[in-house]
């Protein structure tokens, strides 16, 4: 009896294993940071310093991995998430990356935040051949598998987003006079580049470009200049505080251009409400993730899972904060990659699996937006959908658009 039972079990197990994946038969192969019971994942976040608002992303991810561990882990292995503070300082990021790789011996560094910090560690990570996976920055430089095969982005790049706005303007507002206000840093300059690239020969549509520093108390002057220049399209490449100011000021001086605010400033709570809903009607933007403040997702199964997760594992977090939605989606993508790795948890295989995601959709992405990668394509999310502000919320409209210039 016993013998037959175990024989049955063995045959069954083999059949299941063969069915699930042929890699399951492969020998267990581990790099640093992996044992039969644990996967060590490193992370660097600005928990302190000027960008500390983003620290929420790291906390959400820690909570998400707690959830995964509580549910049994990934193929029986628990995630040990080690997250350090770099205070948004590149030299500190280098120190923390080295601590993670050499001291804590993590398998990979996941979703480290900030363009300067990631630029600082990029060369080191690639020299060490340790994955720098799904970095949390919108710069377009992370999609460069030829030179940096160990570094991969996650969110749509700022340039891709600018391409979408340019395509929209070329179609809907040909001959428009575009005014651009941008923050004088890498974030702002990436949009300018993307816009000019996509407008191509029509770049002369841009009639006024002004930059501002985050230390400026007010950006009113720039808006007045735009009106004087006769612009009828206003692209606001601004962070939330300034985006709200710009919307308000334009209304005050009775300037009513077609206004586009970039994705980071599309928050209803942080931008539209302070600027005044009456001033924000008809403003355009684009998004790739669902907004927890938007009632249209109340019955969405993906968002329900997100809200349940927040209630159970990160109760003191704010589900309306876009950063929690972001952290949840990124963490879910990593879990997907690690699941695909099976028992071959080497750094090589992690990159291989990360570069072969097909139509993966985290719970928090807009319907129709999926994650696709290939060995030549290290930009997981490339699509966005345009949206228009109406009443007290955003209405999605038009097709899911891809930010590729070649499409």
Partner 1 sequence: MSAVEDVATQAPAVEAVPKRAMTLGAGTSLMVLALLLIVPLFVKNFIIFQMTMLLIYGVAVLALNILTGGSGQFSLGQSAFYAIGAYTSAILMEQYDVNYALTLPVAGVVCFAAGFLFGQPALRLSGVYLALATFALATAMPQLLKLGYFEKWTGGVQGLVVTKPDAPFGLHMSQDVWLYYFTLVITVAIYIFSVNLLRSRSGRAFTAIRDNEIAASAMGVDVALYKTLAFGVSAGITGVAGGLGAIAVQFVAPDSYTINFAIALFLGMVVGGVGWLPGSFIGSAFIIFVPNIAENISKGLSGAVFGVLLFLVIFLMPHGARQIAVVGQQLLGRLRK
Whole-number Å distance between alpha carbons of 77 and 178 = 53
Tokens of 72: 């049994």
- Other CB atoms within a 10 A radius of the CB of residue 160 amount to 27
Q: Does 213 bind partner 1 (CB under 8 A)?
A: yes
CA quadruple 237, 242, 243, 249: dihedral sign:
negative
Residues numbered 215 to 254 that lie near partner 1 (CB under 8 A) are 215
276 binds partner 1 (CB under 8 A): no
Tokens of 359: 């139509």
Minimum Å gap between C-beta 400 and partner 1 is 30
Shortest Å distance, C-beta 123 to partner 1: 5
3-state secondary structure of 180: strand
Question: Which CB contacts under 8 angstroms, 24+ apart, belong to 100-103?
Answer: 100/42, 100/43, 100/44, 101/42, 101/125, 101/128, 101/130
Q: Looking at 20-28, 118-126, 197-205, 396-404, which segment touches partner 1 (CB under 8 A)?
A: 118-126
Binding mask 172-211 for partner 1 (x = CB under 8 A): ------------xxx--x----------------------
- 123-142 residues in contact with partner 1 (CB under 8 A) are 123-124, 141
Residues near 311 by Cβ (< 8 Å), separated by ≥ 6? Answer: none
Which residues in 31-90 contact partner 1 (CB under 8 A)? Answer: 47-50, 55, 59, 83-85, 87-90
Size of the site for partner 1 (CB under 8 A): 35
> Shortest gap between Cβ of 16 and partner 1 (angstroms)?
41
The residue count for the chain: 407
Q: How far apart are CA 137 and CA 176, in angstroms?
A: 31
- At closest approach, how far in Å is the CB of 19 from partner 1? 43
Binder to partner 1 among 102, 172, 298, 308 (CB under 8 A)? Answer: 102
Which residues lie near partner 1 (CB under 8 A)?
A: 47-50, 55, 59, 83-85, 87-91, 94-95, 98-99, 101-103, 115-116, 119-120, 122-124, 141, 184-186, 189, 213, 215
């Amino acid at each position: 009896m016993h013998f037959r039972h175990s024989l049955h079990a063995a045959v069954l197990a083999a059949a299941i294993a063969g069915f699930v994946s042929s890699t399951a038969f492969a020998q267990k192969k581990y790099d640093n940071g992996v044992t039969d019971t644990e996967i060590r994942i490193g992370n660097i976040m600005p928990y302190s310093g000027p960008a500390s608002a983003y620290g929420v992303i790291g906390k959400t991810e820690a909570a998400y991995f707690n959830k995964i561990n509580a549910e049994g882990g990934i193929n029986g292995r628990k995630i040990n998430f080690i997250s350090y503070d770099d205070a948004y300082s590149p030299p500190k990021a280098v120190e923390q990356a080295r601590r993670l790789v050499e001291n804590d011996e993590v398998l990979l560094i996941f979703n480290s935040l900030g363009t300067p910090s990631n630029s600082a560690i990029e060369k080191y990570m690639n020299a060490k051949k340790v994955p720098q996976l799904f970095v949390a920055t919108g710069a377009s430089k992370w999609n460069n598998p030829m030179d940096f095969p160990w570094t991969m982005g996650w969110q749509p790049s700022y340039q891709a987003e600018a391409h979408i706005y340019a395509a929209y303007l070329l179609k809907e507002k040909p001959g428009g006079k575009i005014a651009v206000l941008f923050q004088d840093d890498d974030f702002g300059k990436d949009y300018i580049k993307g816009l000019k690239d996509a407008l191509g020969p029509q770049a002369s549509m841009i009639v006024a470009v002004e930059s501002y520093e985050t230390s400026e108390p007010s950006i009113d002057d720039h808006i007045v200049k735009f009106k004087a220049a006769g612009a009828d399209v206003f692209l606001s490449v601004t962070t939330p505080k300034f985006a709200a100011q710009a919307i308000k000021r334009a209304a005050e001086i009775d300037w009513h251009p077609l206004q586009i605010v970039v994705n980071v400033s599309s928050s209803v709570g942080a931008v539209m409400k302070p600027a005044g809903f009456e001033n924000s009607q008809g403003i355009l933007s684009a998004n790739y993730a669902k907004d927890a403040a938007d009632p249209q997702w109340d019955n969405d199964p993906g968002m329900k899972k997100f809200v349940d997760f927040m209630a159970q594992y990160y109760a003191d977090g704010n589900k309306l904060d876009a950063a929690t939605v972001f952290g949840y989606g990124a963490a879910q993508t990593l879990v997907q990659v690690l699941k695909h790795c099976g028992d071959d948890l080497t750094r090589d295989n992690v990159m291989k699996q990360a570069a072969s995601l097909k139509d993966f959709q985290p719970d928090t992405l807009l319907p129709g937006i999926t994650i696709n990668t290939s060995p030549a394509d290290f930009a997981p999310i490339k699509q966005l959908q345009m949206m228009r502000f109406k009443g007290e919320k955003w209405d999605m409209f038009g097709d899911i658009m891809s930010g590729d210039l070649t499409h």
